[in-house]
Amino acid sequence: MASFSDLPISREVHTAIQDFGWETPTPIQALSLPALLNGEDVVGLAQTGSGKTAAFSIPLIERVDTRRRGIQALVLVPTRELATQVAAEMTRLARNTPLRVLTVFGGTAMNPQLNALRSGRAHVVVGTPGRILDHLQRGTLKLDAVHYLVLDEADRMLDMGFAPDVQRILSHTPKDRQTALFSATMPNEIRSIVHRHMRSPLSLQVESDAPTVDTVEQVYYHVADRDKTRGLRSLIDAERNPLAIVFRRTQHGAAKLHRQLERDGYRVGVLHGRMTQGQRNRTLSDFTSGRTRILVATNVAARGLDIPDVTHVINYDIPEDAETYIHRIGRTARAGKGGIAATLVGESDLAAFEQITRRLPVTVRENRLPIYA
């Protein structure tokens, strides 16, 4: 499969794919889409950022009959943030269809989820195992009509202790359903799920599509500590409408920088640990949809976020160590795209930044801020 136009999919989904600007499928999409569209079970070994959300969402949209009421497809994910991201991308892919996607996860009020489930209007549920099982035990969610099931980031779900919940949830679904499982690794617990709950699955493996020195341009800028915010604004202004994540170390620092940038007229959101789940959801929705173009975040956003169009990661504050640096810059250059990782290095940051760069496999290039040009 060399192009999305080779796929037997509806005009509505083709149009949505074109709206995303996608031309060539990623490796995991090229391998899994034909099999999933053909009704086969698939086990895909792939990293985050590989394009797997579209790989399982496109066949799901095609296979759900929107004329029928009730839940026909279930997507299990390990975290609330990932549920929000998956549902947002799926909704965009289904924008030209009547498909309705409902997110179900803990940390939010139960009543809106109950009302949405009782209405019967949702066709797909994307959720975390704990809250899904809670609804099953309450009798507020029925999975007997599910014919398409996805386990996304299965190894992370098991690492978080969800294996018993996942097994119980699967037992509530029809045995003849189609199942897709995606994971970065294949521990024995996942092999057991595959053996017990999948029908002669096609096993697919692609090399990690995680960012490398080939896909992320890494630069740093010397800046006076007092000039950091001015230097950040000059970086943002020098780019053409970037979609950027700006990292700060503390919640207080993130909130303060957010206020400053908002006051200066930038379309900016903030993500940190003191926010309610509703606030976090709105922030991520605004950023993934492009309503905001800058996301100021603490490290709570560094792991697990998979937003494919992020063009820049900017370290306003130096990360704690090389591992944190790598995870931060991994928020750009997703799904084979390029990206820029920029670090603002103040006078007080020099020693810490030198320690980090000594542990990196590449030399981070020095550049000059526009304010000092």
Most confident region among 63-67, 206-210, 303-307, 318-322 by mean pLDDT: 63-67
Last residue of a domain, one of 205, 240, 274: 205
Binned at pLDDT 50, 70 and 90, residue 364 comes out as: very high
Q: What is the mean pLDDT of the chain?
A: 89
Is residue 199 domain-shared with residue 225, that is, in the same domain?
Answer: no
Is residue 43 domain-shared with residue 174, that is, in the same domain?
Answer: yes
Average pLDDT over residues 78-93: 91
Average pLDDT over residues 163-179: 96
- As a whole-number percent, the residues of the chain with pLDDT over 90 amount to 62
* pLDDT of res. 309: 87
Is residue 183 domain-shared with residue 277, that is, in the same domain?
Answer: no
Which 3-state string (H, E, C) describes the chain?
Answer: CCCHHHCCCCHHHHHHHHHHCCCCCCHHHHHHHHHHHCCCCEEEECCCCCCHHHHHHHHHHHHCCCCCCCCCEEEECCCHHHHHHHHHHHHHHCCCCCCCEEEECCCCCHHHHHHHHHHCCCCEEEECHHHHHHHHHHCCCCCCCCCEEEECCHHHHHHCCCHHHHHHHHHCCCCCCEEEEEECCCCHHHHHHHHHHCCCCEEEECCCCCCCCCCEEEEEEECCHHHHHHHHHHHHHHCCCCCEEEECCCHHHHHHHHHHHHHCCCCEEEECCCCCHHHHHHHHHHHHHCCCCEEEECHHHCCCCCCCCCCEEEECCCCCCHHHHHHHHCCCCHHHCCEEEEEEECHHHHHHHHHHHHCCCCCCEEECCHHHC
Residue 121 falls inside a structural domain:
yes
Q: What CATH number does the domain containing 303 carry?
A: 3.40.50.300
- When divided into structural domains, the chain yields a total of 2
Is residue 222 domain-shared with residue 169, that is, in the same domain?
Answer: no
Binned at pLDDT 50, 70 and 90, residue 131 comes out as: very high
Residue 331 falls inside a structural domain:
yes
* pLDDT of res. 90: 96
Average pLDDT over residues 27-47: 93
The whole domain housing 33 covers 4-205
- In this predicted structure, the answer to whether residue 214 has a pLDDT above a threshold of 90 is no
| pLDDT tens sequence across 296-316 | 998 765 556 778 789 999 999
Binned at pLDDT 50, 70 and 90, residue 158 comes out as: confident
Is residue 11 domain-shared with residue 153, that is, in the same domain?
Answer: yes
Is residue 12 domain-shared with residue 74, that is, in the same domain?
Answer: yes
- As a whole-number percent, the residues of the chain with pLDDT over 70 amount to 94
* pLDDT of res. 38: 96
